[in-house]
């Protein structure tokens, strides 16, 4: 059952869509992919009208779920919402393995166990509203699972392509939740090329990252929630696992919208885009001072979710990082795995590898003097660690023998 916030239609304030590169305007309430310049479209709102109609106190009185932000989201009709219970995710202190001011925003609490639920619930709702009946998407795992769940819930046919080394649990959950899933002997952009060819033939709508405008709007709720959870301030630093970078782009957009509403000031967190050293195109572009990232060849990392050799929104990621005074950072697989182990054994929080990458990056930034331990830092754990392989635990006790209990 939807919460009382959603029992009746509420006005939305979308005015138009806008090319993120050129500023070219596109009509709202029409089906769009990329702009004519081949770049992502951004949803724009009548923010003065929202400010006049939505006092902050009214928002604060609502249930703390994703849909409390309805006026800042693109879904116009309540009947188009496709919900599986998108909660506000908690901030968990990571004092022993992180530091006294380190908090983890644990996105693994969301439906399908990852932050991909935020983007896909919005994208699927808008696809439903705009009459889409068949979707295809490339995935490294969690996005495909979220798409399968939401699309199945509203009757949209779904085809998913994933690299053949995608974690087995991801492939199986995609299939069991109603999508047709195919393993591809390549990386996620190779899967995306297959999706693109089918879309060009009119076989399906392309749901690749940032190739439709609404996943950003779902992901930006991470930034909206952070502002509310921090009492309408913002943390001093955010460490975000960055593949396609939709969430980082979305949060940066959310902060701008909140400032225009008068709910936060101009201060911004330093944004740290975290990649794996085995796939770090954004880091390389950041270090070279360029605005677009070349494809990373032979990408390989234990953190499959950030193994994205080329991101269509590369320039938006890099702009946000640079404007914030942050960094693009790469961390190696050994540091990632050590961070996952430390968070579990010292703080009892099971991170996914991509979440482990943010803890490894925080530690490196601390070592390099890029952040002080007195500063507030939020690390994003983008999925539940329960989806990923864990070390074996094979110790046994034979109940038929004398057991040295003190030695256990």
Mapping DSSP onto H, E and C, the string for 124-151 reads HHHHHHCCCCEEEEECCCHHHHHHHHHH
Q: Are 36 and 19 in contact (CB under 8 A)?
A: yes
Which residues lie closer than 8 Å to 59 by C-beta, 6 or more apart?
68, 69, 228
Dihedral of CA atoms 241, 111, 299, 179 in degrees, nearest 10, equals -160
Could you tell me the two tokens for 397? Answer: 């006790």
What is the rounded distance in angstroms from the CA atom of residue 349 to the CA atom of residue 337? 14
What is the rounded distance in angstroms from the CA atom of residue 360 to the CA atom of residue 362? 5
Could you tell me the two tokens for 392? Answer: 């074996």
Q: For residue 10, what pLDDT is reported? A: 56
Domains (ranges, CATH) in the chain? Answer: 4-66 (no CATH), 91-114+215-387 (3.40.50.1100), 116-206 (3.40.50.1100)
Instruction: Centre a 10 Å sphere on the Cβ of residue 405 and count the other Cβ atoms it contains.
Output: 7
What is the rounded distance in angstroms from the CA atom of residue 226 to the CA atom of residue 91? 9
Q: Are 190 and 184 in contact (CB under 8 A)?
A: yes
What is the rounded distance in angstroms from the CA atom of residue 80 to the CA atom of residue 277? 41
- The whole-model pTM stands at 0.94
Q: Are 102 and 362 in contact (CB under 8 A)?
A: yes
Q: Are 272 and 326 in contact (CB under 8 A)?
A: yes
End-to-end CA distance of the chain: 48
Q: Which residues pair with 134 in a beta bridge?
A: 157
Tens-digit pLDDT string for the chain (408 aa): 345 444 455 567 999 999 999 999 999 999 999 999 999 999 999 999 999 999 999 999 999 999 999 999 999 999 999 999 999 999 999 999 999 999 999 999 999 999 999 999 999 999 999 999 999 999 999 999 999 999 999 999 999 999 999 989 999 999 999 999 999 999 999 999 999 999 999 999 999 989 999 999 999 999 999 999 999 999 999 999 999 999 999 999 999 999 999 999 999 999 999 999 999 999 999 999 999 999 999 999 999 999 999 999 999 999 999 999 999 999 999 999 999 999 999 999 999 999 999 999 999 999 999 999 999 999 999 999 999 988 899 999 999 999 999 999
What is the rounded distance in angstroms from the CA atom of residue 191 to the CA atom of residue 340? 28
Dihedral of CA atoms 211, 352, 67, 102 in degrees, nearest 10, equals -120
Q: Are 124 and 154 in contact (CB under 8 A)?
A: yes
Q: For residue 11, what pLDDT is reported? A: 61
Could you tell me the two tokens for 339? Answer: 């961070």
The DSSP letter of residue 210 is: T
Q: For residue 7, what pLDDT is reported? A: 46
Q: Are 351 and 340 in contact (CB under 8 A)?
A: yes
């Amino acid at each position: 059952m939807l919460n009382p916030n959603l029992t009746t239609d509420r006005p939305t304030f979308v005015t138009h869509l806008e090319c993120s590169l050129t500023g070219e305007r596109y009509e709202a309430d029409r089906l769009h992919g990329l702009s004519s310049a081949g770049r992502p479209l951004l949803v724009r709102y009548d923010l003065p009208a929202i400010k006049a109609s939505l006092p902050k106190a009214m928002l604060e009185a609502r249930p703390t779920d994703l849909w409390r932000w309805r006026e800042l989201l693109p879904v116009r009709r309540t009947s188009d919402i496709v919900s599986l219970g998108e909660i506000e995710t908690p901030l968990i202190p990571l004092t022993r393995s992180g530091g006294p001011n380190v908090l983890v925003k644990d996105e693994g609490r969301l439906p399908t166990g990852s932050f991909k639920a935020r983007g896909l619930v919005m994208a699927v709702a808008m696809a439903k509203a705009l009459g889409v009946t068949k979707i295809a998407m490339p995935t490294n795992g969690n996005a495909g699972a979220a798409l399968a769940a939401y699309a199945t819930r509203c009757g949209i046919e779904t085809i998913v392509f994933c690299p053949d080394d995608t974690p087995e649990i991801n492939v199986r959950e995609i299939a069991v939740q109603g999508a047709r899933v195919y393993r591809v002997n390549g990386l996620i952009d190779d899967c995306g090329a297959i999706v693109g060819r089918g879309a060009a033939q009119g076989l399906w709508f392309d749901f690749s990252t940032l190739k439709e405008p609404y996943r950003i709007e779902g992901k930006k709720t991470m930034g909206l929630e952070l502002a509310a959870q921090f009492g309408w301030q913002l943390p001093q630093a955010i460490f975000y696992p960055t593949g396609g970078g939709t969430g980082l782009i979305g949060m940066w957009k959310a902060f701008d919208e909140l400032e225009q509403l008068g709910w936060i000031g101009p201060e911004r967190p330093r944004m740290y885009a975290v990649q794996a050293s085995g796939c770090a195109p954004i880091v390389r572009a950041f270090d070279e001072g360029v605005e677009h990232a070349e494809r990373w060849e032979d990408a390989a990392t234990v953190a499959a979710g950030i193994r994205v050799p080329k991101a269509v929104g590369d320039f938006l990621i890099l702009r946000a990082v640079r404007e914030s005074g942050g960094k693009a950072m790469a961390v190696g697989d050994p540091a990632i795995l050590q961070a996952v182990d430390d968070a579990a054994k010292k703080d009892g929080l099971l991170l996914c590898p991509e979440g482990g990458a943010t803890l490894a990056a925080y530690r490196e930034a601390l070592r390099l003097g890029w952040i002080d331990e007195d500063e507030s830092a939020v690390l994003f754990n983008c999925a539940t660690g329960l989806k990923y392989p864990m070390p074996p635990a094979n110790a046994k006790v034979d109940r038929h023998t004398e057991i040295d209990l003190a030695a256990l």
